[in-house]
Amino acid sequence: MASRGYHHGDLRRALLECAEQAVSDGGPAQLSLRDVARRAGVSHAAPAHHFGDKRGLLTALAAEGFAQLARRLEEALAERGAFLDVAVAYVDFAVDRRAPFEVMFRPDMYDALDPTVVQARAEAAGSLALGLASMPEDAVGADRRVAELAAWSLVHGFATLWLGGALTTDGRDDPGDTARAVARYLFDKGVGPAR
């Protein structure tokens, strides 16, 4: 636990945080173990010691990301109780936890079959579906599977476009607000101004 000296204390944690920063700066593909080590002020061989190899580091990042997304969606559902809030939470996660989000949906870059990843991802998907289940029956329609897919596509697409800089922010600059208006659109057409 000594923060200085030969032993770091919690280097694994620190490396993950630096990796996240690195992904934020240059995207998942630019990530390099040496850069992460540099950011953490540690020898370049240290990351390999903790994660085996580059793939291992990305796998850890993805697993953490899914776990946190699941937690956030659950919280939104528990606190607010409506699908709209879950949708907004999804977009919020993508925006302020951009790095893990981008890694998570690039399964070719990490071990997507890693048990930790698989479980965390299932939890996140479950929360989203649960959010949808809170909608009144007639708003969801006949095919619940299609509704789930549409809901996921909508929030995921909005988040992706936003992150990709494809959306011009004319006027409203808070993605959460815009996301709410868009998500509301899915189940309640003809809304007035957002919020």
Partner DNA sequence: TGTACATCAGTGAACGCGCGTTCACTGATGTAC
Q: How far is the CB of 34 from a second copy (least distance, A)?
A: 17
Query: Is 24 near a second copy (CB under 8 A)?
Result: no
**Closest alpha carbon to 176 in 104, 100, 56, 94:** 94
Chosen residue from 21, 27, 39, 48 binding DNA by CB under 7 A? 48
Residue 101 makes contact with a second copy by CB under 8 A: no
Among 55, 153, 174, 195, the residue binding a second copy under the rule CB under 8 A is 153
Given the rule CB under 7 A, which of 31-39, 90-98, 119-127, 158-166 is the region that contacts DNA? 31-39
Evaluate whether 111 touches 54 at the Cβ level (below 8 Å).
no
Among 24, 25, 29, 34, binds DNA (CB under 7 A): 34
Out of 24, 25, 29, 53, the residue judged to bind DNA by CB under 7 A: 53
Q: Which residues contact 37 (CB under 8 A, 6 or more apart)?
A: 15, 43, 44, 45, 46, 47
Residues in contact with a second copy, counted by CB under 8 A, come to a total of 45
CA–CA separation, 129 vs 123, rounded Å?
10
> What is the C-alpha separation between 177 and 179, in angstroms, rounded?
5
Q: Quick check: 20 binds DNA (CB under 7 A)?
A: no
Let me know: does 117 contact 62? Beta carbons within 8 Å: yes
